[in-house]
Amino acid sequence: MKLNSVAKAASMVLLTLGVQTAAAAVWVDTQKWSNEWEEKYSAWVETEFNPRYFIDGPYGKLATDCADAVYAARVIFSYENKLPFVIKNPYGTGYYTNKTSNYDSKKEGKERVRSFLYNIFDQTSTKSLPNDTYPVAINRMNVRSGTVWLRPSREEEFSLARIFGGKDQRPGHTDLVKSVSREGVVTLIGSTVPSAVRELKEVTDFYILPEIKVQTGLRNWKWPEHYNLKENQLPGYGVDQYEMGAQMSNHGEAGPQQGSKTVQGWSQALREKLALTKESKGAYLTRLAKNFCVLVKERVAIVASGEKLRNRMGGSCMDYAQWDNYSTPGRDQMVVKSLKKLIAETNMFPFLSRSSVEKTRPYLETCGTLEIIPGRIVDYTELAIRYSEDLISSDPNHPIEARWGEMQKPRSTCAYKEQ
C-alpha cells in the first residue's frame, strides 16, 4: 500500500471531481479508442517501448515497479496520441481520468503528465489491474504487443507458510507482451520491485498457470465505454487460456506430482495456438538459457541495494518492509524453475545437480559473464551450479557474498511474518 487511506480518499476526490475543462485537464483527448488505435498501440509497444524507456528520453529517470510500468505505457501512449485514459478507482467508486484538474499547478505537457503518473503509481497495483483489463481468447489477433500478462498478489490466501511464520510466496507481478514471434514465442517486458529507475527486463517464459478465479493471465485493456458492459461483451473476450495444457492445481501452479511440466504444457499449448511456423530445438534451448540469464542479471541491482542498506544498518535486522523490498525468495524460485526447464531439455535424467548443469553449459555460455559484486565476474554456468546446490541466499540480512554463493549462508536470526 503506497498511500494511507486518508490520502487516497483525498486524492480520489480531487481526481474524480476535477473541473472538466480544456485548461484543467492533464491533456485534452480528441481521439477515441478503436481497433485501429489498438493496432497503433501494439506497434508502439513493440517498436518504441524498449528496455531503456524509463532511463533515457522524455520519460527517463522515471522510477517504476511492475504495475507502474504497465500503467505508464498506457498513460504515455494515450497522452502522446490525445486518447482518453480512464481506469477504475481501486479504493471505491468513480474513475481516474486524464480530465482531472488536480494538476493545474504543473506546467502543461510532460511535466503535468509525470505528476499524473506518480499519482497513478501510488493508487494502482497488480490488484487493480483486473478492474481495467479483461481475459482474451488465445489467437494472434488478441494476444499481441501491448497485451497484459497478470498475476495479482495473493496476500489473502491460506498457506502453510503463514502457519509456520514464513512469508507467502505468491507476490503479484505483471508484464506487457513485447512481441509474438512467428514461432508463437511470447516475449514479455516489464519492471519489478522495489520501485526504481531501471532497465526493463525481457523474458520469453511463464512461471505460473493463469487461473480464472483470481483473474490472472493474458488480458487486454478496457476502453472507457467498456466499464458499462459485461466482460463477455468485450472484443476478443475468451477464457480458453484457463483450460489449455495440463491439469492445474488449486493455486494455478504446478501440482506436486506434475512438477514444472504443468506450466510447460500450458506454455507449449500457447505457442502452438499462436505459431505460424515451428521453433527449432536449438533456438528453444538458447531461449531457455537466455531466460535464466536475464532473471539472474536482474537480481544484481536488487542484491546490491540490499547490501547498501545492510551496511548502513550495521548488522541490525531489517524491518518487514525493507526485507520485503530486498529479499529474493520468489525471484530465486523463478530462477530455479527456469534452470529446471533447461535441464529437463538437455538431460536424460533431469535432476538439479552439478552434472546436469554442466550439460547446459553450451547454451549458458551464449550469455557471457556477469559482474555480481564489484570486481567479481563469474559465468552463468557457475551461477547455475550454485543454484543447483542451494548456495544462493535470498535473505538481504546476509552479506552480499552469501547472496551470490561466494560464502556459506549464515544462520538466519531475523524472523518475518506476513504483515
Question: How confident is the model over 122-151, as pLDDT tens digits?
Answer: 999 999 999 999 999 999 999 999 999 998
Q: Which three cell numbers stand for residue 67?
A: 504495475
Local confidence band at 161 (pLDDT 50, 70, 90 cut-offs): very low
The reported pTM is 0.83
Task: With CA atoms as reference, report the closest residue to 335 among 372, 364, 390, 295.
Answer: 295
Count of CB atoms situated within 10 Å of the CB of 371:
11
What pLDDT is stored for residue 170 in this prediction? Answer: 57
Residue 112: pLDDT over 60 = yes
Give φ, ψ of 371 to 5 degrees.
Answer: -85, 105
What pLDDT is stored for residue 27 in this prediction? Answer: 97
